[in-house]
Amino acid sequence: MSFANLHASCVELDQQVEIPERAGAGSSSSAGPLLTMESMLNVPFRKSWDTCREVPTVEDEHTPWKMIKLLKVISLCVIAVVVFGLALCSKVSFLLLITLSNEGTKILPDEMRPVALLCIGCALIISSVFLFLKSVWKACYKTSKLPNKSTIALVLFFEFLVAMGAAILTIVAMPHLDIVTNVTILNSVAVLSALLQVITQCTAKERNRFLVPSITAFLLILLGYVLFLVLYIMKDPTDIKTIIWVGLAVGGSFLMSFNWWENYFRLISENSSSVFLKALCRDVKTCQNMLHILSSMLRIAVTAGVLGAYVPLDKMDWDIVTSIPSRETKIIAIIIGVQLISSALCHWFSLVACKMHALRRCFILPLYLASLAVMVLFVVPVIVYYQDYRTSLNGTAISFTGYCNEVVDGRNQSLNGSVFPGLVLDVTHTLCFLDMAKITDISLLTGSAVSWWLGLVLATLHLWYLNVSRIQRTQDLFVRRLFEGAFIEQSLLLNTRFDIQTKKGRKKNKSSDTAMLYLCGTMWHETYGEMMNIIISIFRLDKYRPKIDRKFDDVTFESHIYFDDAFKHVQGSLGNHLNTYAEDLVRILTEVYGIFTNIDDKFFKHNQQVPVQKIIRTPYGGRLVVTMPHGNVIIVHFKDKDLIRHKKRWSQVMYLYYLLGWKLMTKYYARLKKGEDKDELTAELQREKQNTYILALDGDTDFQPAALMLLIDRLKMYPRVGAVCGRIHPTGSGPTVWFQKFEYAVSHWLQKTAEHVIGCVLCSPGCFSLFRAAALMDDNVMKKYATKSTEASHYIQYDQGEDRWLCTLLLKQGWRVEYNAAADAYTNAPEDFKELYNQRRRWGPSTLANVVDLLGSTSIISKRNPSMSKLFMFYQLFAITSAILAPATICLLIAGCLTFVLTIDSNAALVLAVIPPVIYLGLCFKLKSDTQITIAGVMSIIYAFLMLVVSMSIIGSMVEDKTILTPSSIFVIGMALIYIITAIMHPQEVQLVFHGFLYILCIPSAYLLLTIYSMTNMNNVSWGTRESKPTPGAATPDPVAMQTKTQRAKSTFQRYFSWCKCCKKSNQLPVNQEILITESQQPGLQPQNTIVGDERIPEEQTQAEPFFDSPIQCFVTQLQNMSSDMQLQEDSLDKEEEEFFIELQKKYLEPLQDDKERQKAMANDLRELRNKINFAFFIMNALWLVATFTMQLFGASFSINLPKVNFDLETTGEDVIIDPIAFMFILGFAASVVIQFLTMFYHRIYTLIHYVAFLDTEPSEKKPEPIYLEGKKAKSVTSSDSIADTISDSDTISEVDSEIEESDDEFFGDGDGTMV
């Protein structure tokens, strides 16, 4: 048969394959009968007896949303009560100090008033001291930019006025006023804020909804001043002192109201043409640290000056401060302690309430009510005591003035009486100037109090409608870092950000910009179930954030899957075919599409017909474009390793340059060529880079949409965060997986949280991490990540742990990497002992290489990255040192066990403990990898029994010695308590504690044998996991491998032209010799310890068939014939995009050529590097063991002897002998664990804050109830926007009804998290 006839046959077969597509698109009538038959057989319904389906789990089965919602309610109630209670304590304690500084009090005599005034001064300056210390630290470690002189002068002028006003009001004036006035006059400090609100809203030139409340607030506060002046001055116009005190109170409160000028000048400058105002606000924002240092020092100095001058002017003596009786000292100490602590905690809990998005319930309302509660708390006891005294007189009438003269002022100072009655009478003393019989006095006092309180409420009314994002940054919530302890609720309310709110709507927050998200998964040899996980996760996200009928504009996304080594050569075919793994992926896409579109067909299951999708031939292989049910696309890139470089890092380089280089950057260059303004384009580009994110996924990752949104929150809110990872949960079964479950838990619970809190996370795992485009596109990140390994160390650092190396590049450039414990993802863990060892063989050396790289650049990194201080680098140095010395430490642990069990000398036990690891170390240099792992498995079992004995021996020694107060006992018990408490702090994962017993038994295997295996096999740079061995039929090398370079090129061209003809798209792909030259495939696996460069594992070969007997001639027709459920229409790539991929391949991704000489040289270099590192590594362990051996040998001379104490804390007469070196090491390790434990608590609090805010703010819609007709089920219109939508099928009406009844409880059922 001639080639022309063969081609005609191929075209005819293709036409038959494409008939359903063209018929579906409206083809000629000749195709009608064929389509009609297909429709009758497949489209309407399945067989009536075959309606049951096997559907994978797609709903969220991990997160206990009912418990989390309950926790949210409890948390909000607790926060509201705590904020209210702390504000109450702060204000009551401060006013008690004011009362005790009043003349005529009995609890604190007049001569001791300087003590109370000194405490008032401390309450005024304590926040300035905190601010000074924090600003100095930030100036040293972050930024210390100096502002302009004019800015310094103006800021210090305002701070001088504020400090002077606060000191005069609280130290000089308020001690001479009554308690009711003192409670409410603090609210009058909102006077200037109300006036500035009016000015700010007027300059905005818009119809502002809060202009009238601001004007009313200003007038009410002025009215309060008038009533206050009338009350005090008209009482006795001849009392000059009273007039002075009243004038100072009004003036002090007005000066104090300058404190929040920044809140309004910021907005006034935006709407003003004044260059000075704009420069001032810019300086204040960019030079905060230096300005805060100067202003704090000024406020402390002014307060001290006023206090120091007033005491002698009022004829008081400072000497009394040093001679206060113990009773008064305790009273004062308790009051000032409560004031200082409650003020600081109230500020922090108020911040928590705002971050939780509970502004009204837990912040504004409790603070409003605090002033009223303080008033009640002071006035009610006064009234009660007065009425009780009147009752005790048996009907004898007595006025309030008489009560004051006889009881309040006529009492003697009691040194031993109860404090509370004395305080009540002292408070009553401040009200004695009033005549309670006169309605005028009561009316004026009440009127001023109500006017000031209403003025504060109206001046802060805008806060009820403030637009606050989830986990809002503190600097975006509160304008000033400073809180005022003496004016706690006023400072918190007035310091909260003021925004112009028009009648048209609220101002849009910067964090609400729409983010562009690219989901990028890499695949190779994943199983059917593993690939099902990630595809279902992507379809969940499509339902959660639909593109069609979009209701939320917070994020748009595209999904990309990069399938490595997806093709195989089939003899007799004119083009390469997809291998079985790639075929499985296409089947999964079809199946999952059907699951998500048939979700409401509970009773009658339609045979799914997926809409026509696109298949495209590309320079790197092929592309499948699937539009998901809600409009978002998922693009599968099938990579041919003969056309483009394979392996995970190169797939990542491919999508980084495609998505960020081509899709993001090219359009801006095109617009620049058209003449658009360069500055505007640059600003727009930077904004898009900041709001473009890449989610790195593995081919088996399972996640919920809520977990992804929690990651996005971190990048949206904090612009210097370059990457954030979630909580990774290993899945699978068996002892190997159980060990990993606890190991992952401890790593995330303690290690990652500590890194997040005190520094930066060093590794954001590639299975579920979100990266910012601006960070990836920064200098020395993406470009360097695309570097080809040319040295032995490169293969270890670059290729063995690519995710850790990428994070190293980000950290070096100053970007922050974070960890979000609420964002859960699930990935399959190795279930086989050999696979686990091979995985950790890659991770161990790459971790060591990257950490050493960071430690070597400590000086540069600590200057460039504000989050990584030298103290944090020292913490990492200790951590890596502990990891290096882990083998020796395990040997010492086993030696201790042998000493206790066999009652032998400690040195002899140490020698016995060292012998097996040394033998295994020697064998690892001689034996093959598989044999090494087999030996490690046997030794692991033996060591597990030894560890059981170790555990029992420690318990036995405690029982035998009748004490737990030995270093080893304290350490073991302490570690156990830390792990148990940590697990309790993670209730959803508390069951993992039981896996901890297995973890303890496997410690020698994990930290001794595995360390030896990974270090001695460092020169093995193969992947080690998911490697498919060649089948017997595929053992012989491919004929292509036996060809010369010229023959291979010729064969490639012939295949290429035949492929084009077969698919009838001869103009789709240009002939490019450099791209199409394929490299020879290796016939099999190379020796394990010398694998260098690209690893070629042959795929399973199918039985060769004559190509004229099969319609499948290339991967296009292969996919088109694979399933009738999803029809594929061939499309072409844009010319410019095609040229981009060709250029990308030439520059970065050209397949690596087999160079036997280079591979041999590199194998030798890797062996030399392994030998050097192993020598240093194990010499350090040997030195540690020899030092311990020497200490034990001369124990009497070097050891530390401590008396042994029993359970009754009585000495037993024996001594505990402690090795000083071991003790210092254990002490250092315990210190690091304690640091991790404390940071875990801190991180858990902020995780709770984030989760509560997420539950309260994530937009969602409930599913409408389905409508049932008699005998039929009406199809319900489902909403696709709620994270509570659970995707499930049921076969009975009762089950559907039960879901509807529980829909409120499962409101967030589609989310995922380990918050609780």
pLDDT tens, residue by residue, 870-880: 899 999 999 99
Q: Is the dihedral of CA 432, 437, 440, 445 positive or negative?
A: positive
> Is the pLDDT at 419 greater than 60, yes or no?
yes
Q: Name the residue among 631, 749, 652, 761 with its Cα closest to residue 697.
A: 652
pLDDT (average), residues 632-637: 96
Highest mean pLDDT among 44-53, 263-272, 645-654, 1206-1215: 645-654
3-state secondary structure of 360: helix
Reported as half-sphere exposure (CB side, CA atoms, 13 A), residue 596 has a value of 28
Q: How confident is the model at residue 1152 (pLDDT cuts 50, 70, 90)?
A: confident
> Is the pLDDT at 1044 greater than 50, yes or no?
no
Count the neighbouring beta carbons within 10 Å of the beta carbon of residue 962: 13
pLDDT (average), residues 753-772: 94
pLDDT tens, residue by residue, 459-518: 999 898 888 877 778 888 888 877 888 999 999 999 998 886 655 555 555 456 789 999
Q: Are 258 and 192 in contact (CB under 8 A)?
A: yes
Q: How confident is the model at residue 644 (pLDDT cuts 50, 70, 90)?
A: very high
Query: What pLDDT sits at residue 808?
Result: 95
Distance CA 93, CA 122 (A): 13
Q: With pLDDT > 90 as the criterion, what percentage of the chain qualifies?
A: 45
Q: Are 162 and 255 in contact (CB under 8 A)?
A: yes
pLDDT tens, residue by residue, 157-204: 999 999 999 999 999 999 999 899 999 999 999 999 999 999 888 887
Query: What pLDDT sits at residue 221?
Result: 95
Q: How confident is the model at residue 695 (pLDDT cuts 50, 70, 90)?
A: very high
Burial of 436 (0-12, 13-18, 19+ CB in 10 A): middle
> Is the pLDDT at 1313 greater than 90, yes or no?
no
pLDDT (average), residues 419-427: 86
Structure tokens at 514: 């729409």
pLDDT tens, residue by residue, 259-306: 999 888 888 888 777 888 888 888 888 888 889 899 999 999 999 999
Distance CA 705, CA 724 (A): 16
DSSP 1204-1263: EE-TTS-EEEEEEEE-HHHHHHHHHHHHHHHHHHHHHHHHHHHHHHHHHHHHHHS---PP
> Is the pLDDT at 339 greater than 90, yes or no?
yes
624 backbone dihedrals φ, ψ, rounded to 5°: -115, 120
pLDDT tens, residue by residue, 939-968: 999 999 988 887 887 777 777 766 666 666
H/E segment holding residue 768: strand 768-772
3-state secondary structure of 102: coil
Q: Are 465 and 208 in contact (CB under 8 A)?
A: no
At 464, the amino acid letter reads W
pLDDT (average), residues 962-975: 73
Q: With pLDDT > 70 as the criterion, what percentage of the chain qualifies?
A: 79
The H-assigned helical ranges of 702-772 are: 705-717, 735-746, 753-758
Count the neighbouring beta carbons within 10 Å of the beta carbon of residue 276: 12
Query: What pLDDT sits at residue 24?
Result: 35
| More confident site: 1076 or 1224 | 1224
pLDDT tens, residue by residue, 904-952: 888 888 899 999 999 999 999 999 999 999 999 999 999 999 888 878 8
3-state secondary structure of 304: helix
Q: Are 156 and 298 in contact (CB under 8 A)?
A: yes
| More confident site: 1031 or 228 | 228
DSSP 303-359: HHHHHHHHHHHTT--GGGGGG--HHHHHHHHHHHHHHHHHHHHHHHHHHHHHHTT-H
Q: Are 770 and 715 in contact (CB under 8 A)?
A: yes
| More confident site: 1044 or 1305 | 1044
Query: What pLDDT sits at residue 50?
Result: 67
Distance CA 752, CA 764 (A): 10
The H-assigned helical ranges of 718-766 are: 735-746, 753-758
> Is the pLDDT at 244 greater than 80, yes or no?
yes
> Is the pLDDT at 1208 greater than 70, yes or no?
no
Q: How long, in residues, is the chain?
A: 1316
H/E segment holding residue 819: strand 816-828
> Is the pLDDT at 1051 greater than 70, yes or no?
no
pLDDT (average), residues 587-610: 71
Distance CA 413, CA 852 (A): 70
Q: How is residue 478 annotated by DSSP?
A: B
Q: How confident is the model at residue 234 (pLDDT cuts 50, 70, 90)?
A: confident
| More confident site: 467 or 1014 | 1014
Distance CA 809, CA 304 (A): 50
Q: Which of 60-74, 545-559, 871-885 has the lowest mean pLDDT?
A: 60-74
Q: Name the residue among 893, 761, 862 with its Cα closest to residue 1229.
A: 893
Q: How confident is the model at residue 1203 (pLDDT cuts 50, 70, 90)?
A: low
Q: How confident is the model at residue 4 (pLDDT cuts 50, 70, 90)?
A: very low
Q: How far is CA 996 from the centre of its chain?
A: 26
Q: Are 661 and 669 in contact (CB under 8 A)?
A: no
pLDDT (average), residues 91-117: 88
Query: What pLDDT sits at residue 268?
Result: 86
Query: What pLDDT sits at residue 1065?
Result: 40
Distance CA 447, CA 435 (A): 16
Query: What pLDDT sits at residue 728?
Result: 95
| More confident site: 266 or 1223 | 266
Q: Are 595 and 538 in contact (CB under 8 A)?
A: no
Query: What pLDDT sits at residue 961?
Result: 67
Q: Name the residue among 1212, 1175, 1210, 1215 with its Cα closest to residue 1195.
A: 1215
Which residues, listed in sequence order, are joined to residue 614 by a DSSP beta bridge?
Answer: 625, 1129
Q: Is the dihedral of CA 529, 531, 534, 538 positive or negative?
A: negative
Q: Name the residue among 492, 624, 610, 470 with its Cα closest to residue 559.
A: 624
Distance CA 449, CA 453 (A): 6
Query: What pLDDT sits at residue 1221?
Result: 67
3-state secondary structure of 629: coil
At 579, the amino acid letter reads N
Left if phi > 0, otherwise alpha if psi is -120 to 50, otherwise beta: which for 496? beta
pLDDT (average), residues 1191-1206: 66
Q: Are 730 and 744 in contact (CB under 8 A)?
A: yes
Q: Is the dihedral of CA 1249, 1252, 1255, 1256 positive or negative?
A: negative
Spatial CB neighbours of 231, under 8 Å, sequence gap ≥ 6: 441, 444, 445, 448
Mean pLDDT of the chain: 80
Reported as half-sphere exposure (CB side, CA atoms, 13 A), residue 899 has a value of 16
| Total-model pTM | 0.82
3-state secondary structure of 823: strand
| CA dihedral of residues 1079, 1085, 1091, 1093 (deg, nearest 10) | 20
Q: Are 514 and 712 in contact (CB under 8 A)?
A: no
Query: What pLDDT sits at residue 501?
Result: 64
Query: What pLDDT sits at residue 47?
Result: 60
Q: Which of 223-232, 239-248, 1008-1017, 1121-1130 has the lowest mean pLDDT?
A: 1121-1130
